[in-house]
Amino acid sequence: MLKILVYDTNFVKGISRVIPITKIRYWQKHNCKISIFCTKEGEDFYKLELKDIDFITVDYHYTFKNVYWLIWDVIRVNVKAFKKISKITGKFNVVYSQSSVIDFVFIPWILKIVDKNIKWFVMVDNIVPPPQQRPGSLFKKFIPYLAFKLGNLLLRKADGIFVVTNFLEKYFKNLGMKNVVKTNNGYGIQTEIFQGVISNETSKVDALYCGRIHLAKGIMDLVEVTKLVVKKKPDFKTGILGDGDTVTKKTFYEKIKHYGLKNNFLNFGYIAGKEKGDIYRKSDFFLFLSYDEGCPHAVIEAFACNKPVIAYDLSIYHEVFAKYIDSGQLSLFKIGDYEGIASYILNTDFKKKNFNNKLKDYGWEIICQRELEVMRNE
């Protein structure tokens, strides 16, 4: 039996854990014993989603006030996690990180050093671009960029790096990383949450965004576009599925209020399961104006639901989503082209746009199977 330790001490409410949960369920079905190294808040969450899991728990609760305070949070939680290293050394075959950013990899990196028998694998779904390529304060943008770069240095001790795009495969191989494994062309989704009868209680929105409330995700751009559309279509409504830090949310909601758009935004907060799937299916289209991405899971969910998607023209999309661009399901616009996007929305009958994607083609089987094969054979 393969004993896998999933490292997740940076769990906070509102950030999706669909991907690790899906993989853990697959591993459990294939003779693996799973333990999760997380905060008490993370343990409470995972216990609702998973069965037969052992926990190594750090007694810490993130304050999540802003990006500056988050640095202090990360330092404190890693100090607490470090104190538990001796208790887990020699007890696992694999430690698994779900991102390459420093807070996901620092403790696994140390564990790899002190435990000569453990294998360390890391899932990477995007890179963090230089600060000048993202919106917002230069210092605030520099912090995640530095965290990403530091994480890359530690990755050199990893036994395997899992990616789902040619771009990421090439990026990490060019850095000299060993055993970079491309497991598929894109991610899978929880297909079951997008099936069945849509609940009568599900709210209807024209445009839907799903993801973090974060400047780099283009959430302020959503407000600008909505403002222009509402001038011609007063009853237009944009739905927000997601959460973020207190400061960014405050700025976001204040901008909505300043523009007089309070009735044109429906803030769902963080929602998972079929309720989330119903919101997707009942919306008219997906509006995703992120400034940088790898292979965005939320967009894949929209494709699977046969929803038209409007996004900024990022080069990575031409690689990972080429077939959706060709079919017309993905419409791309220059970054900051609020007028062009608003005009497109106003002049498009989204209900007449029909696509024929099959949910069965968006499962996780291939990715989970390939990762497990590598972890067992490395």
260 and 165 within one domain: no
Q: How do beta strands 94-97 and 119-123 pair?
A: parallel
Range of the domain at 100: 2-188+363-377
232 and 158 within one domain: no
Number of domains in the chain: 2
40 and 129 within one domain: yes
Q: What is the tens place of the pLDDT at every residue in 210-228?
A: 998 989 899 999 999 999 9
**What is residue 32's predicted lDDT score, i.e. its pLDDT?**
97
Angstrom distance (rounded) from CA 47 to CA 271: 17
**Most distant CA atoms of the chain, gap in Å:** 64
**What is residue 69's predicted lDDT score, i.e. its pLDDT?**
67
102 and 10 within one domain: yes
* Of residues 256, 240, 242, 230, the one with CA closest to residue 203: 240
How distant, in Å, are the alpha carbons of 175, 310, 324 from that of 320? 21, 15, 9
CATH code, domain carrying 132: 3.40.50.2000
200 and 57 within one domain: no
What 8-state DSSP symbol labels residue 218?
Answer: T
**What is residue 29's predicted lDDT score, i.e. its pLDDT?**
95
**What is residue 186's predicted lDDT score, i.e. its pLDDT?**
74
Give the chain's residues under pLDDT 50. Answer: none
Q: Cα 160–45–193 angle (5° rounding)?
A: 80
Angstrom distance (rounded) from CA 290 to CA 222: 10
132 and 59 within one domain: yes
**What is residue 64's predicted lDDT score, i.e. its pLDDT?**
60
Angstrom distance (rounded) from CA 293 to CA 279: 23
42 and 176 within one domain: yes
Q: What is the tens place of the pLDDT at every residue in 24-63?
A: 999 999 999 999 999 998 999 999 999 999 999 998 877 7
Which pTM was predicted? 0.77
